[in-house]
Amino acid sequence: MESDRRRDQGIMRFCSIASGSSGNCYILTFFDGKSYTQSIMVECGIPIKEILRKNVENQVKTADLKCCLVTHGHGDHDRAYQDIRDRYIPIFASKETLEDNRDYSPARELISGEIKVVAPDLIVLPFEVCHDFPGSMGFIIFNRVTGDKVLFINDCKYVEYDLSEFTFDYVFICLLYTSDAADDLIGVD
C-alpha cells in the first residue's frame, strides 16, 4: 500500500530545460516528505538568461536550487558554470571539470565510486563514463527521505561501472552517438 501512495505523490519531478548538442540543462525536484523543496540542476550548458527564463516558465525558483551537478567540461554541459557559481549555487563535478572552469575545490569534487552529500536529503554516487573529456561522469542520485534512486547518464560512449547491484526508480540516459553505440551502452544485441 505504501508504494502505491508514494507513486501517487510523484516522488520526483523532472524538467528538461535543454537537451542536445546545443546545450543541456535539467532540473530534478525531489519530495522531502512534506513538499517538493529539494531541487537540483544537472548540467548548465546553455546561457544563464535562457536558464532563468525557462525556470520561470516551468515555475522553478533558481534561488532554491541546492546545487548543480556537471557530467563533464564541454560547453554544451557547462556553458553557464561561472554564472551559476556567481549565484552561490554549489557546483559538483570531477576534478578535471572543476579545474577546467578554474574553480577546483576538494569539497565539491566528485570522485568515481565515492558517495557525496550534495543537498540536505540528497546523496550522489558518481561513476566514470567513457567520453573524450577526462573525468566525465554519470550519477546515481539517492533521495534519503523516500529511498528513491535516479540514474543519470549524459553524452557518453559507454559505461564500465557495474550498475547491476542497483534498482533505479528513474533512469535518464541521453546519448549523442549512433544507435549502435546506444545499443552497446544498454546491452542490446
pLDDT in tens, 100-125: 999 999 999 999 999 999 998 999 99
What global pTM score does this model have?
0.88
The rounded distance, in Å, linking the Cα atoms of 167 and 10 is 18
Q: Which pLDDT score, from 0 to 100, does residue 2 have?
A: 38
Partners of residue 117 on adjacent β-strands:
123
Examine the pLDDT at 1 and tell me if it is beyond 80: no
Examine the pLDDT at 159 and tell me if it is beyond 50: yes
Q: With beta carbons less than 8 A apart as the criterion, state whether 37 and 50 touch.
A: no
Examine the pLDDT at 4 and tell me if it is beyond 50: no
Cell representation of residue 36: 517538493
- Asked which of 65-74, 136-145, 176-185 is least confident by mean pLDDT, the reply is 176-185
**Quick one: which of 56, 59, 55 has its CA closest to 26?**
55
Which of the pair, 133 or 116, is modelled with greater confidence? 116
- Asked which of 50-54, 61-65, 100-104 is least confident by mean pLDDT, the reply is 61-65
How far is Cα of residue 167 from the mean position of the Cα atoms in its chain?
Answer: 18
Q: Which pLDDT score, from 0 to 100, does residue 32 have?
A: 76
Q: Which pLDDT score, from 0 to 100, does residue 169 have?
A: 94
Examine the pLDDT at 178 and tell me if it is beyond 60: no
